[in-house]
């Protein structure tokens, strides 16, 4: 059954905006589901201590409930309420990067709903670096479970209009705080062992984390689907656009050959590349992500561009691949999850 979805535009954090955020907080206290902006992507929030409220997230997204959700709080002190300990590793990351696009995995003390943790004895928790999200969490004074606010499997939303397109009539409200900044989700770091382990690359890079913690590890399964993940994005296909996405792992001549071959077959081809590669290709439907020298722009543009290709306009999307260093690790993780295949010479 369709429900009314309230929509608030929050632009200046003035008295009217504060009232809108208060209304959104009231709905969350009533165990409703509300979408709100973070610095990474828009999140679909519910009271993380209430199983019934969290179940509404899965229903709205059409998402299986055997994948853990990230818990959002306003302050480091609130993390202590829901974990058995803040490990020394986690404390270093919290001090260095929170608020910001990083999530730490810690032992749960059982106060978070079981369908948030997917039955695990750990939780992922973060403090978002967005004034609207922080204000909402402060007014609420509750932990908020919030996956990306999109239909499950589709590209994550980096604007409120993306949320509206996917979830209008399915959730109680959308807080429009403008476009997000980072464009890819938070880095998820398991802090329960002796070494920090990246379970999902994101807005904070491996190199940045190593500067704070020293040697670390990256989970070798981050590009695979695993049965009992400790973090979101590790089990099911994600970020898929309307049309099949192929990753073209070759030089400009190889890329052009793929375009020509598909066009000859009568396919309508969409191209998603850097501005450097775009200048070397002969193609019509080209969307530029940004410069190869500015991975922040490419990350910021990624989901918006994936959503821009509609199956009515293209039969297939060809994407450039990027170096798996720095933010490129997160970009390639999302592209590999979204792609149906990778093509190389």
Residue 307 known to bind ligand = no
Beta bridge partners of 342: 247
Residue 186 known to bind ligand = yes
Residue 146 known to bind ligand = yes
CA 239/CA 331 separation, integer angstroms:
11
Beta bridge partners of 271: 286, 318
Residue 115 known to bind ligand = no
Greatest alpha-carbon span in the chain: 61
Residue 63 known to bind ligand = yes
pLDDT of residue 234: 54
DSSP-based three-state secondary structure for 256 = helix
CA 23/CA 173 separation, integer angstroms:
9
pLDDT of residue 238: 72
Query: Which one, of 160, 144, 161, 167, lies nearest residue 4 by Cα?
Result: 167
pLDDT of residue 3: 84
**pLDDT tens string 300-332:** 999 999 999 988 899 999 999 999 999 999 999
pLDDT of residue 328: 97
**pLDDT tens string 265-305:** 999 999 999 999 999 999 999 999 999 999 999 999 999 99
Residue 48 known to bind ligand = no
CA 284/CA 47 separation, integer angstroms:
47
All domains of the chain, ordered by start, with CATH?
6-218 (3.90.870.10), 245-343 (3.40.50.11030)
Residue ranges in 182-318 assigned as alpha helix (H): 206-213, 252-264, 275-278, 295-308
pLDDT of residue 63: 78
Strand segments (E) across 86-220: 102-107, 122-126, 144-145, 173-176, 187-190, 197-200, 217-218
pTM for the full model?
0.93
**Cβ-Cβ contacts under 8 Å for 294 (sequence gap 6 or more):** none
pLDDT of residue 215: 74
Phi, psi of 78 (to 5 degrees): -70, -25
Residue 159 known to bind ligand = no
Residue 261 known to bind ligand = no
pLDDT of residue 217: 66
pLDDT of residue 263: 97
Residue 56 known to bind ligand = no
CA 295/CA 91 separation, integer angstroms:
28
Give the CA distances from residue 270 to residues 139, 141, 231, 280, in Å, rounded to whole numbers and listed in that order: 44, 45, 32, 15
Residue 156 known to bind ligand = yes
pLDDT of residue 311: 83
pLDDT of residue 1: 64
Residue 122 known to bind ligand = yes
CA 219/CA 209 separation, integer angstroms:
14
Which residue numbers in the chain have pLDDT < 70? 1, 217, 219-237
pLDDT of residue 230: 64
């Amino acid at each position: 059954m369709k429900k009314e979805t309230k929509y608030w535009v929050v632009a200046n954090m003035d008295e009217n905006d504060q009232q809108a955020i208060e209304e959104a907080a009231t709905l969350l206290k009533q165990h409703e589901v509300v979408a709100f902006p973070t610095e990474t992507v828009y999140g679909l929030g519910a009271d993380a201590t209430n199983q019934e409220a969290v179940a509404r997230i899965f229903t709205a997204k059409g998402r299986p409930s055997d994948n853990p959700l990230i818990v959002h709080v306003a302050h480091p002190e609130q993390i202590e309420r829901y974990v058995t300990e803040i490990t020394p590793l986690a404390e270093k990351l919290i001090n260095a990067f929170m608020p910001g696009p990083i999530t730490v995995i810690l032992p749960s003390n059982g106060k978070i709903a079981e369908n948030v943790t997917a039955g695990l004895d750990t939780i992922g928790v973060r403090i978002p670096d967005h004034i609207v999200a922080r204000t909402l969490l402060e007014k609420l004074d509750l932990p908020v479970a919030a996956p990306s606010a999109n239909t499950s499997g589709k590209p994550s939303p980096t604007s409120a209009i993306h949320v509206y397109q996917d979830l209008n009539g399915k959730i109680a409200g959308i807080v429009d705080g403008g476009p997000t900044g980072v464009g890819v989700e938070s880095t998820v770091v398991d802090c329960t062992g002796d070494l920090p382990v990246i379970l999902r690359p994101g807005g904070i890079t491996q190199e940045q984390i190593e500067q704070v913690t020293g040697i670390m590890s990256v989970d070798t399964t981050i590009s695979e689907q695993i049965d009992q993940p400790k973090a979101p994005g590790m089990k099911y296909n994600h970020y898929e656009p309307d049309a099949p996405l192929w990753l073209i792992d070759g030089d400009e001549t190889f890329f052009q050959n793929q375009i020509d071959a598909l066009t000859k077959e009568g396919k309508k081809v969409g191209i998603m590349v850097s501005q450097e590669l775009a200048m070397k290709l002969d193609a019509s439907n080209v969307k530029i992500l940004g410069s190869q020298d500015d991975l922040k722009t490419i990350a910021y543009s990624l989901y918006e561009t994936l959503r821009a290709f509609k199956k009515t306009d293209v039969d297939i999307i060809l994407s450039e691949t990027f170096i798996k260093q720095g933010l490129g690790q997160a970009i390639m993780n999302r592209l590999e999850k979204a792609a149906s295949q990778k093509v190389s010479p």
